[in-house]
Amino acid sequence: MSFSLILYGMAGLRMEAVAVVSNCAISILLYLIAAQVLSCSAVITPNQDIAFMASDDDGNCITGVVVNTVMRVAIAWTAVNLLMSNFMVRFVDMSQVWLSHLRWISAMAYAFEGYATAEFKGGSYSCAGGLPLDVIGYLPSFLPNTTSLQSGIVTSTLRNPGAGCVVNLDLATNPMKPPGSILDYFNLFKPIWLTVVILAGYLLVMHALTFGAYLLVGRKERR
For 153-197, the pLDDT digits (tens) are: 888 888 888 887 877 776 555 554 545 578 888 888 889 999 999
Verify that 100 and 25 share a domain, yes or no. yes
Segments of the chain with pLDDT less than 50: 48-67, 176, 178
Q: Is the whole model's pTM more than 0.75, yes or no?
A: no
Query: Burial code of 20-32, b = ≥16 C-beta within 10 A, e = fewer?
Result: bebbebbbebbeb
* pLDDT recorded at residue 71: 65
Verify that 146 and 207 share a domain, yes or no. no
| Separation CA 78–CA 75 (nearest Å) | 5
* pLDDT recorded at residue 47: 53
* pLDDT recorded at residue 56: 40
Verify that 119 and 20 share a domain, yes or no. yes
Verify that 154 and 102 share a domain, yes or no. no
Look up the domain containing 148 and give its range: 124-168
* pLDDT recorded at residue 134: 79
| Separation CA 57–CA 23 (nearest Å) | 50
Local structure of 143: helix, strand or coil: coil
Verify that 8 and 118 share a domain, yes or no. yes
Verify that 177 and 106 share a domain, yes or no. yes
The structural domain count of the chain equals: 2
